[in-house]
Amino acid sequence: MARWLKISLRILSVFVGLIILTWLAGAFYINRNKKEVLASILEQLNKNLNGKITARSMEPTLLKGFPGISVSLNDVLLRDSLWAQHKHDLLKAQDIDVSLNLFSLFSGNVNINRISINNASVYIYQDSSGYSNTSIFKSKPASEKKSSPKSSALEI
């Protein structure tokens, strides 16, 4: 075998080994710090809600989010802020897969890349006054909304 091919294969194998080692370290970190990671994920998800999302437990799911790391949140409930009055959950899911950025996890932040909802039921409720439990989703402030210039007049 040519010398350059041996060197290339050795460099490639070291690179792949480092990726796998980092990935396994992330899984180990999540396993050791389940409560803290679960609290961080739920805090990140609740940041944009007028209500609360809860999960009973969390398990790492290694291959679903590769090359990142993913976790499975079990028995997830999504409730709006007036749930105590109408008692209708917007979302009940057996599990939600959350893909995380591995390097942000090591820095102490949780950066969510993707969310997949599995085995879920959605109940959309609207009362006689027009209130709906879908109002749980916060709207963006007017300064964040992108406005495209709309012109109804033609300039000549």
pLDDT at residue 113 above 60? Answer: yes
What pLDDT is attached to residue 93? 93
Q: In angstroms, rounded to a whole number, what is the distance separating the alpha carbons of residues 15 and 31?
A: 25
119-to-76, 87, 136 alpha-carbon distances in Å: 10, 21, 21
The CB density around residue 93, as the number of other CB atoms within 10 Å, is: 21
Query: Poorest-confidence range of 33-42, 114-123, 128-137?
Result: 128-137
Residues in the chain: 156
pLDDT tens-place string over residues 31-61: 898 898 899 889 988 888 888 999 999 988 8
**β-pair partners for 76:** 55, 93
Structure tokens at 99: 């893909």
Name the residue type at position 140: K
User: Kind and range of the H or E element at 49?
Assistant: none
Phi, psi of 100 (to 5 degrees): -115, 150
Tell me the percentage of the chain whose pLDDT exceeds 90.
Answer: 24
Q: Are 103 and 79 in contact (CB under 8 A)?
A: no
Beta strands in 36-154, from DSSP E residues, in sequence order:
51-61, 69-80, 91-100, 112-122
